[in-house]
Amino acid sequence: MSAKPVTVCVDALGGDEPPAVVLEGVALALESDPDLSVIVVGTDDVVTPFAASHERCEAVACTQSISMGEHPLQAIRTKRDSSIVVGSKLVKSGCAQGFFSAGSTGACMAAATLLIGRIPGIDRPALTLALPGKTPTVLLDVGANADCKPLNIVQYGHMGCAYARIVVGVDDPRLGLLNIGSEDTKGSMEAQERFAALRDSVPEFVGNAEGTDILGDSFDVIVTDGFTGNVALKTLEGTARFLMSEVKRAAMASTKGKIGGALLSGQLGDLKQRLSGEMYGGAVLLGVNGVVVIGHGATSPRAVCQGTLVSANAARQDLVGRISAAIS
Amino acid sequence: MSAKPVTVCVDALGGDEPPAVVLEGVALALESDPDLSVIVVGTDDVVTPFAASHERCEAVACTQSISMGEHPLQAIRTKRDSSIVVGSKLVKSGCAQGFFSAGSTGACMAAATLLIGRIPGIDRPALTLALPGKTPTVLLDVGANADCKPLNIVQYGHMGCAYARIVVGVDDPRLGLLNIGSEDTKGSMEAQERFAALRDSVPEFVGNAEGTDILGDSFDVIVTDGFTGNVALKTLEGTARFLMSEVKRAAMASTKGKIGGALLSGQLGDLKQRLSGEMYGGAVLLGVNGVVVIGHGATSPRAVCQGTLVSANAARQDLVGRISAAIS
């Protein structure tokens, strides 16, 4: 069965890795999805030869790139020919139905908000992930807005529930607020204000969630500000990485362990990737009027491939149109 | 070699488990430390027979207990004969050199602050843990104060570095601020204020830490508010629990896996316990003028044993006196 044809733009200059790593990921995505076309944006010497040697691939050359340390808004305003600005404009003009970048989160967010625009009714976009725990749990915001008002959290609740319905396929999502105790009165003053706002405005809200619930099965959607969400996500990734390395170390410590580790290696490898960030590829910037997916800066071909496919599928599912309809 | 004799008070009514679970933990602690004496506080029917049948154990009967859902300050004021109030008073009076409870964190903190008092120069105490990652990392606050001013964070920095020197044995601790990016300008407005305060006031401060650093080896001490710290700790525990159950599931999925799992089971069991909360037993409430250790509500005999031993060792090391000296 062939999928709906879709064109995604990929930022060849985004991330800490050289463009060759990103392009290797694009090649993997093109191979695995025969109905996908990709526009690669980057310096001429990098993207033109790649596009010439790959089917369903087009090159758009630019002359600038934005580094991780630059001030996002200033970079977007002064670097008009950067890959992030050019890629965002390709989505705005309709040449591409989605944009994937492993570059600066702040710059991608600024470009998306300013150049593509927001969905009506949404003040701030939120970086959104469906985490593969006991059951999938949609977590937002994982890093777009460090400072959030209760109104932003309410909008994240609406968008997160729509995302869970559309992408995860949960009919009646249970929405939780990330907090430090399950009782209604728990948490910081900010958390208590958010609790009241969610209770009064979002029918799917069922109460407070804790850090232990992120990979659990008690909530389908968990909302928080971009500061707390980013700390939680990076703690999760760091813990997974540490534990898997310890399992490996345990397996190397004795002959018995080595045999055991060899027998288990296939499953352990899958598990490691599942929570490494490679499998989810990138976080979707919900709330902007176009599909924008932002990957980890420390990327890999496999992560770029996943991020590109996530963008393509979001475009195919009309994620933005359906989120807009759910919000209005 | 015999250790310095020390008496620790244990709250037999604290936690979600029945008193028998706590007392089993006390028995383990008494067995493993021949220079330890324990005062168990609880209802007469529970503690008196236990003390009668165990050496170096004394019972103090009380008639009330404080549940997890009660308002901490109100509970402390109205329940004068609760195990948490009685235990705190035993430390204040010098009958015990430390107090361990797996009961309500809020009530323990309120009782400790009001009845035992704070170290001069400390406005708010902080729950402190040394997490067993690549190298031990002291994390505070993991849940005492959800709302923190930059001044509190600075005091946490001083106390955390003193704790790393005394308990972990690090001569020159590297102090980090939990944030969402390593660059100096990253984070919420609150995080940026904290960064400036730490940079100006704490010589051990080396910069921003991220969630991935909590189990890493780049920092010896990481400070944050009790909201973010608690979310991070519970995310870490939830991730560890989830991953170990997935490793187990992988090992049960095939005959090959079962053999591999059996060969690795000893090491995997150790690893599971290491990050389960059982091994660190409880968090030390730094900043109060006596040793107070608060365990997980969902406790086990082994966790109670660890928490009791942590309290005993903190008392033996004169943790409070040395933290006071370091602060002044």
Q: Do A260 and B256 touch (CB under 8 A)?
A: no
Q: Which among B168, B294, B139 is positioned nearest to B229, based on CA atoms?
A: B139
Cα three-residue angle B58-B127-B272, rounded to 5 degrees? 85
pLDDT digits (tens, 9 = 90+) for B257-309: 777 777 777 777 777 666 666 666 789 999 999 999 999 766 789 989 999 99
pLDDT digits (tens, 9 = 90+) for A145-196: 999 999 999 999 999 999 999 989 999 999 999 999 888 888 999 999 999 9
Candidate from A215, A228, A257 with C-beta closest to B231: A228
- What dihedral angle (degrees, nearest 10) is formed by the CA atoms of B207, B208, B212, B217? 10
For B258, what's the count of Cα atoms within 13 Å in the CB-facing half-sphere? 4
How far apart are alpha carbons B122 and A21 in whole angstroms? 51
How far apart are alpha carbons B115 and B104 in whole angstroms? 16
The pLDDT, as a whole number, for residue B66 is 94
The three-class DSSP label of residue A272 is helix
Mean pLDDT of chain B: 91
How far apart are alpha carbons B158 and B248 in whole angstroms? 41
How far apart are alpha carbons B4 and A158 in whole angstroms? 59
pLDDT digits (tens, 9 = 90+) for A77-104: 999 999 999 999 999 999 999 999 999 9
Q: Can you tell me the ipTM of this complex?
A: 0.91
Residue A278's pLDDT band, with cuts at 50, 70 and 90, is low
Domains of chain A, earliest start first = 1-122+287-328 (3.40.718.10), 127-241 (3.40.718.10)
The answer to whether residue B81 scores a pLDDT higher than 90 is yes
Average pLDDT of span B88-94 = 96
For chain B, how are helix, strand and coil distributed in percent, rounded to 5? 50, 20, 35
B250 touches chain A (CB under 8 A): yes
Q: Give the least confident one: A45-49, A257-261, B195-199, B299-303.
A: A257-261
Residue B297 structure tokens: 């509500």
How far apart are alpha carbons B229 and A175 in whole angstroms? 22
Neighbours of A328 (CB within 10 A): 8
pLDDT digits (tens, 9 = 90+) for B194-230: 999 999 999 999 999 999 999 999 999 999 999 999 9
Closest-CA residue of A relative to B182 is A69
Pairing state between β A136-140 and B36-42: unpaired
The answer to whether residue A256 scores a pLDDT higher than 90 is no
Contact B212, A237 (CB under 8 A): yes
Which residues have CB under 8 Å from B191's CB, separation 6+? A146, A227, B177, B179, B180, B208
Q: To the nearest whole angstrom, how far is the Cα of B78 from the nearest Cα of chain A?
A: 20
The pLDDT, as a whole number, for residue B224 is 98
The pLDDT, as a whole number, for residue A161 is 96
- Helices then strands, each counted (H, E), chain B: 11, 11
The answer to whether residue A275 scores a pLDDT higher than 70 is no
Which residues have CB under 8 Å from B164's CB, separation 6+? B130, B138, B170, B173, B220, B221
Bigger pLDDT: A51 vs A17: A51
How far apart are alpha carbons A208 and A204 in whole angstroms? 12
Candidate from A133, A231, A247 with C-beta closest to B242: A133
Provide, as residue numbers in chain A, all residues whose Cβ is less than 8 Å from the Cβ of B237.
Answer: 211-212
